[in-house]
Structure 1
Amino acid sequence: MSVLLLRLAGPLQSWGSAARFARRTTEAAPTKSGVLGMLAAALGRPRTADPSDLAALRFGVRVDQPGTPLRDFQTAHDPDTGGALPVSERFYLADAVFVAAVEGPHDQLTTLHQALRRPGFLPYLGRRSCPPAQPVDLRLRDDADLETALRTQPWQASDWHQWRLKDQPQVDLEVLLEATGKDGRVNTLRDQPLSFDPAHRRYALRGVRSFPVTVPNPRAAQPTKHIEHDPTTVLRSE
């Protein structure tokens, strides 16, 4: 098994799992359905394609920079009648950075990695109005499982965010990992994709367990070396 790591960063992100009608909320971290939808788009698949091969991949995400919740109101008109549609309320995460990962067969993840570098459809971070700030592919690992890869990947937060925490040599990050049958009590999230078809989207529940990990801060302040200084030295004769 291999692990494909992605860096999800952009001005805005929105990862809905229960968004309905005029109120479109976002989870605090990327959803499995949202990330797999991005991978399906990179492969050039239509929304009506069967997502079961991607859904079989195990998913995890690490919150490297939580971001700031943002609420927006949007208006629209019916393209046929020209009449005004109800005002919709949209929620986003601003300036967030996540490391997402999928675990699965090496050949399948190699194909996905190549597709991310030359995507069939442009990737976006949950919604079409949320483009990534840079290429999303990080690396493909064959030397670690999903949990180890998320524990050991260097901190991906923005430089300015790392500098803000320069007094902390290490930082604690939250990991949300897809649960297995061996896990005990876990939370559930309805983001296991069964169909992306716009005419009949369907999602199932999956288990998620969360835990903290500690990673080094590359911007941590270095200790100042104490140097003895005697200003009267120049006044002394040899």
Structure 2
Amino acid sequence: MSHVLLVRLAAPLQSWGVASRFLRRDTHTRPTKSGVIGLCAAALGLPRGPDPRAQGAGSAKDGSGDPLAELTPLLFGVRADHPGKPVRDYHTVGAGRYPLRPRDLVTDHRRAAALAPVLESAEGAAFGHHELDDWYGAPKKIAADPRSGTLVSAEPRRNALITERWYLADAAFLVGLQHHDRALLERIAHALEHPARLLWLGRKSCPPSGQIALDVRPGTLADVFASVALLPAFTELPPRTGDDDRPWAWLESRRPVPGTGPVLDQPVHFGAMGPQHAPRWETRIRVTVDPHAPAWDIVP
């Protein structure tokens, strides 16, 4: 018999990247399976990749040493109760003024020369707190000067990096994780409320708000999504409008059937050299929520 763990993902901001590259960081319109499995793995305190010392003994129950062995078979679904609003962050990194540290006087003689007139008065707590205009960060690309042999920085001046980062504001999603092992789902639910590591919704700047793990219920993703009420909105929102105000849901399928499409967010590993993903199949449906379903009594 299948059971479904219901997970609430709501916060002022969340971001679920699927195709982010370099200076542009996008977000998907909904949580990804990779992001949610990573959330559960962090809550359980699992390592990012296989532990060579665990081979044979196994960091997973199957003895494979794969920390995600129990989590990747979970069937994944998400219901967009409140999809939120896309917002863009004009993000700059670096430039401006940066405090001079004592070691910078050793590694970059040009900075020392520029500050020579004021170094005589640098005493006690004031030492090391002089600043230079248009300097970003600590010295980089340090190498010996070919003429003097002194260690210097090849980048004495730097400009700001400008990046574009997208988020979902005031969104609330109901995620379902389906599996036949109820004990496994209950263990994940307990970990989400008592996490071994810090949790965030896609990025470290997006911590979750309020209660995360809601309940474990018997049934399939489609049945459970239809039987539970909509989540309360994270903020006060205008009433839904349109001919069909039923929420959309995306349900994972174990195999391709008519109406399904491929999604490249099935996690394989979250190794230090970068995550690896495989394709999976999912379908999109409108969910008719039971009008008599009791409202949620949760900490917002």
Task: Identify the TM-score tier after normalising by the shorter chain.
Answer: 0.7 to 0.9
Q: Of the candidates 54, 60, 73, which is equivalent to residue 77 of structure 2?
A: 60
Structure 1, unaligned runs of 5 or more: 219-238
Distance in 1 (alpha carbons) for counterparts of 2:86 and 2:292: 24
After superposition, where does 1:74-113 map in structure 2 within 5 Å? 74-77=91-94, 81=140, 83=158, 86-104=161-179, 105-113=181-189
What are the superposed Cα offsets for residues 131-151 of structure 1, whole Å, 9 maximum, x if unpaired? Answer: 11212111111x222211112
Distance in 1 (alpha carbons) for counterparts of 2:33 and 2:221: 14
Q: Contact between 2:255 and 2:281, CA under 8 Å: does it hold in 1? A: no
What are the superposed Cα offsets for residues 37-60 of structure 1, whole Å, 9 maximum, x if unpaired? Answer: 000000012222432321110000
- Residue 21 of structure 2 corresponds to 20
- Residue 230 of structure 2 corresponds to 155
What are the superposed Cα offsets for residues 200-238 of structure 1, whole Å, 9 maximum, x if unpaired? Answer: 3101111110010123399xxxxxxxxxxxxxxxxxxxx
Deviation at 1:184, TM superposition (A): 1.3
Q: Does 1:208 align with 2:209?
A: no
Q: Which amino acid aligns with 2:71?
A: L
Distance in 2 (alpha carbons) for counterparts of 1:101 and 1:91: 25
Deviation at 1:176, TM superposition (A): 0.4
- Residue 226 of structure 1 corresponds to none
Distance in 2 (alpha carbons) for counterparts of 1:217 and 1:27: 32
Distance in 1 (alpha carbons) for counterparts of 2:240 and 2:163: 40
Q: Contact between 1:24 and 1:89, CA under 8 Å: does it hold in 2? A: yes
Residues 44 and 152 of structure 1: CA distance in aligned 2, closer, same or farther (over 3 Å):
same
* Higher strand proportion (structure 1 or 2): 1
- Residue 127 of structure 1 corresponds to 203
Distance in 1 (alpha carbons) for counterparts of 2:207 and 2:43: 14
Deviation at 1:180, TM superposition (A): 2.9
- Residue 47 of structure 1 corresponds to 48
Q: Contact between 1:62 and 1:174, CA under 8 Å: does it hold in 2? A: yes
Q: Contact between 1:14 and 1:27, CA under 8 Å: does it hold in 2? A: yes
Q: Does 1:71 align with 2:72?
A: no
Distance in 1 (alpha carbons) for counterparts of 2:197 and 2:232: 26
Q: Contact between 1:171 and 1:214, CA under 8 Å: does it hold in 2? A: no
What are the superposed Cα offsets for residues 91-144 of structure 1, whole Å, 9 maximum, x if unpaired? Answer: 100000100010112121111011112100122111110011212111111x22
Deviation at 1:182, TM superposition (A): 6.3
Q: Of the candidates 116, 126, 136, which is equivalent to residue 192 of structure 2?
A: 116
RMSD of aligned residue pairs (Cα, Å): 2.5
Structure 2, unaligned runs of 5 or more: 51-66, 95-136, 141-154, 294-300
Question: TM-score when scaled to structure 2?
Answer: 0.66
Q: Contact between 2:267 and 2:277, CA under 8 Å: does it hold in 1? A: yes
Question: TM-score when scaled to structure 1?
Answer: 0.82
Once structures 1 and 2 are overlaid, which stretch shifts more, 127-136 or 143-152? 143-152
Q: How many matched pairs?
A: 215
Distance in 2 (alpha carbons) for counterparts of 1:53 and 1:159: 31
Other structure's SS at 2:287 match: strand
Distance in 2 (alpha carbons) for counterparts of 1:79 and 1:189: 41
Deviation at 1:18, TM superposition (A): 1.5
What are the superposed Cα offsets for residues 61-101 of structure 1, whole Å, 9 maximum, x if unpaired? Answer: 00000110001122335666285563221110000010001
Residues 8 and 86 of structure 1: CA distance in aligned 2, closer, same or farther (over 3 Å):
same
Q: Which amino acid aligns with 1:152?
A: S
Once structures 1 and 2 are overlaid, which stretch shifts more, 121-130 or 182-191? 182-191
Q: Contact between 1:175 and 1:212, CA under 8 Å: does it hold in 2? A: yes
Other structure's SS at 2:232 match: coil
Q: Of the candidates 267, 271, 293, which is equivalent to residue 193 of structure 1?
A: 267
Q: Contact between 1:34 and 1:126, CA under 8 Å: does it hold in 2? A: yes
Q: Contact between 1:39 and 1:116, CA under 8 Å: does it hold in 2? A: yes
